[in-house]
Amino acid sequence: MLAKLFYVLCGGIAGALVVLVVLFGIVFSNPTVLTPLLPVATSAQTQVLTGEVGSATIIPDMVSRVNDSVVSIVVTKDVPVYERYYEEFNPWGGWGGGFAIPRVRENGVEEQEVGGGSGFIVSSDGMVVTNRHVVNDTEARYSVITTSGESYPVEVLALDTQLDIAILKISELPANVYLEPLIFGDSTSLRLGESVVAIGNALAEFQNSVSVGVVSGLSRSIVATDGFGESEALSEVIQTDAAINPGNSGGPLLNLAGEVVGVNVATSRGADNIAFALPAHVVRDVVESVKETGAIVRPFLGVRYVTVSQELQEVNNLSVDYGALVARGERPEALAVMPGSPADRAGLRENDIILNIDGEDLRGRDLATILRGKKVGQSISLTILSQGQERVITLVLSATP
Contact criterion met (CB below 8 Å) for 137 and 228:
no
Residue of 69, 72, 123, 133 with catalytic role: 133
Phi and psi, residue 238, nearest 5°: -90, 130
The alpha carbon of residue 312 and the mean position of all alpha carbons in its chain are separated, in whole angstroms, by: 29
- Does the annotation mark 160 as catalytic? no
Report the predicted TM-score, pTM, of the whole model to 2 decimal places.
Answer: 0.76
| Model confidence pLDDT, tens digit, residues 239-269 | 999 998 889 999 999 999 999 999 999 888 7
Residue of 29, 72, 249, 268 with catalytic role: 249
- Does the annotation mark 133 as catalytic? yes
Residue of 69, 72, 160, 164 with catalytic role: 164
Domains of the chain, earliest start first = 1-88+100-297 (2.40.10.120), 299-399 (2.30.42.10)
Mean pLDDT per 10-residue interval, the chain, length 401 residues: 49 34 34 34 42 70 96 91 81 68 83 90 96 92 94 94 92 89 95 96 91 93 71 86 91 96 88 89 93 91 93 92 92 92 95 94 87 91 94 93 83
Question: Count of CB atoms within 10 A of residue 98's CB?
Answer: 13
- Does the annotation mark 164 as catalytic? yes
